[in-house]
Structure 1
Amino acid sequence: MNNYIRIIILCMSLFVQSCANKRALVWEENFDGTALDAKAWNYELGDGCPELCGWGNNEKQIYTQTNHTIKDGFLHITIKKEDEKYTSTRITTKGKKEFKYGRIETRAKLPLAKGLWPAFWMLGSNISEVGWPLCGEIDILEYIGRKPNTIFTTLHFDEKFGDNGYSKTTEIEGIEVGFHTYAVEWSPDKIAFFVDDAKMFEYKPDHKTPQNWPFNQPFYVILNTAVGGNLGGNDIDDDLFPQEFVIDYIRVYKN
C-alpha cells in the first residue's frame, strides 16, 4: 500500500471519528475506580443450568464474580483453567442501562488462545417475555481463537438465528495486536457494524416485521468471554491460560 492510499484511509477514518464525536453522548463507562458500578452492571453466574446449561451453546466455562479486575481505567476479564474447570466473567446492563438506537462502541484488546470466545453484544430487553430469538440479538464483536485475524459481526432474529444468523466474517490482519474499536450504528432504518471505523456490513430490510426486525425496542449490553462451545470449538489450548479480555471503555451516542 503506497503512502497516498494510506493518507486517504487515515483521513476517512478521522472524518468518521469526528462525526461520531459530534453525537450526543448518552452513557460512558470508563471503568474508573476498583469495582464495577452496581448501578450499571449485573453478574450472570454459573454454567447456565438448569434453564440454559452451557449457556445455550455447549460452553464449558463457569462464570464467577471474581474473574475480573478493574485497574487504571481498564476492565480485565480473566479466563482461567482451575483444576478441571474453566472460569470467566459475564456481565450485563439488563434493567439498568438499556438503549434504543444510536452508536454503541467499545475499545478492547482480545485474548489469544484456541477455544476462547470473547464478545461484546446486546439482547432485546423483552427477552424474559418473548424469549430468544424473538427478542433480537446484536453481536458487535465476536472473536474465536481458532480463527486468527477474523472478526464476526452478527444479527439474530426470528427469521435468521443460530448458525443461520445474519452474519459477516471479516479477516483483519493483526486484529489481535493492541486495542481496537468495535461499534454498531443503529437507527429505525438500518444497523451497520464497524471495526476501527471501517464498515463491515449493514442490515436494512425493505419490509420490517417482528420476525425480521425486533430492533425497535431497547437493548442491553453484555460483555463476556466463553470457553469452547459451538463457536469457540473444543480444541482448547490450556497451555496458554490464563488469558485476559481487556476493555478500555464503552460509549453510547444518540443518533
Structure 2
Amino acid sequence: MKKIIVLILISGFCYAQGVKRKLVWEEDFNKKEVNEKNWNFELGDGCPDLCGYGNNERQIYTRTNHEFKDGNLVIEARKEGNKYTSTKITTKGKKEFKYGRIEARAKLPVGHGLWPAFWMLGANIDEVKWPKTGEIDILEYIGRDPHMVYTTLHTQDSHGNTINTKRTAFPDIEEGYHVFAIEWTKEKIDFYVDKSVVYTFNPEVKTEDTWPFDKPFYIVLNLAIGGNFGGPEVDDKALPQKFYIDYVRVYQ
C-alpha cells in the first residue's frame, strides 16, 4: 500500500531542467463530451471579422467534427460536399496560465493540406489584438512538409513570417503518439518534442514588443485545412483524417 501511495504522489509532479513542478490542471478527455466548463468551441469560418482566420484557411469549424475514443479527443477533418469541416476548441476565459510546463500527448493526421496545432494566445487578445498579445505555437505540423515539426512564437516585433521559429526533423513523427511541450519561465521558453529540446526563445532585450510572455495565456487545439501555411492545395483523397489528443497537462 505504501508503494502505491508513493507512485500516486509522484505522478502529480514532473521534473524538467532540474525544477520540480506540480500538476495544476489536466484534461484527460475521458468523458463523452467536451467539458464546456473548461473549453469553448470556436465555430464558423472566421467571418465577418477574420475570414479564413487570417490565413486563408478553408475549413468551417463545427461542434460535430470530433468524438471521444479510448480516452482521446479525436478531431476529424472532413470534405462534405464542397466544404471542409473540422473542430477547434480553446480555454479562453476559463483556463489561463502564466509560466510552467504545458504539454499535450497527441497523434498527428497526415495528408497534404492538413494543419494540426496545439498553441496558446494571450488572454488579453480582445484588448490589444494580435500579434501584440503574443502567440506560442507549441506544435504545428503541415501535411505538405512531412516528418517536420514547427515550433514558433509571434510577437509585435516579429510575426507572420516570423524569425522566431524552428523547423525540426523527426522521421517518425507521424508514427504513434508524441509529447509536445513548452517549459516557460520569466526568462525564456524551451520547446520540447518528447524528451528533446528543439528550440529556445530568450531575447536579450525583453520589451512588450519582443516578450509579451509575462501574462496569462489560454490553450488552443485545432485541425485546420489549407491556408497560407497548411496549403493551399488539399488532398481530398486523404480525407477524412483524425487528430488524436490523449491529454493536456499544466505543471507549475
Secondary structure at the aligned position of 2:56 is classed as: coil
Q: CA deviation at 1:19?
A: 1.6
Q: Is contact 2:41–2:89 with CA below 8 Å preserved after alignment?
A: yes
Structure 2 unaligned regions, length at least 5: 1-12
Q: CA deviation at 1:84?
A: 0.5
Question: Which residue does 1:87 correspond to in 2?
Answer: 85
Q: Deviations over 1:198-226 (max 9, x none)?
A: 00010111221000000000000000011
Secondary structure at the aligned position of 2:161 is classed as: helix
Q: Is contact 2:14–2:22 with CA below 8 Å preserved after alignment?
A: no
Question: Which residue does 2:215 correspond to in 1?
Answer: 217
1:43 aligns with 2:44: no
After superposing on structure 2, the runs of 4+ consecutive aligned residues of structure 1 that deviate more than 3 Å are none
Q: Distance in 1 between matches of 2:211 and 2:29?
A: 32
- Of 65-74 and 218-227, deviating more is 65-74
Amino acid of the structure 2 residue aligned with 1:111: P
Amino acid of the structure 1 residue aligned with 2:244: V
Q: Match for 2:29 among 31, 56, 61?
A: 31
Question: Which residue does 2:141 correspond to in 1?
Answer: 143
Structure 1 unaligned regions, length at least 5: 1-16
Amino acid of the structure 1 residue aligned with 2:164: Y
Q: Distance in 1 between matches of 2:47 and 2:216?
A: 27
Q: Distance in 1 between matches of 2:58 and 2:203?
A: 36
Q: How does 1:234-245 map to 2 (within 5 A)?
A: 234-245=232-243
Q: Deviations over 1:141-194 (max 9, x none)?
A: 000000010000000000010012410000111100000000001000000100
Q: Is contact 1:133–1:157 with CA below 8 Å preserved after alignment?
A: yes
Q: How does 1:63-102 map to 2 (within 5 A)?
A: 63-102=61-100
Question: Which residue does 2:186 correspond to in 1?
Answer: 188
Question: Which residue does 2:103 correspond to in 1?
Answer: 105
TM-score (norm 1): 0.91
TM-score (norm 2): 0.92
Question: Which residue does 1:7 correspond to in 2?
Answer: none
Q: Distance in 2 between matches of 1:197 and 1:166?
A: 21
Aligned length: 238
Amino acid of the structure 1 residue aligned with 2:80: E
For the aligned residues, what is the CA RMSD?
1.2
Q: Distance in 1 between matches of 2:110 and 2:150?
A: 16
Amino acid of the structure 2 residue aligned with 1:109: K
Q: Distance in 2 between matches of 1:237 and 1:84?
A: 13
Q: CA deviation at 1:72?
A: 2.3
Q: CA distance change for structure 1 residues 41 and 140 in 2, over 3 Å: closer, same or farther?
A: same
Q: CA deviation at 1:18?
A: 5.7
Q: CA deviation at 1:233?
A: 1.2
Secondary structure at the aligned position of 1:162 is classed as: coil
Secondary structure at the aligned position of 1:19 is classed as: strand
Which structure has more helix as a fraction of its residues? 1
Question: Which residue does 1:3 correspond to in 2?
Answer: none
- Percentage identity across paired residues of the two chains: 59
Q: Is contact 2:58–2:226 with CA below 8 Å preserved after alignment?
A: yes
Question: Which residue does 2:245 correspond to in 1?
Answer: 247
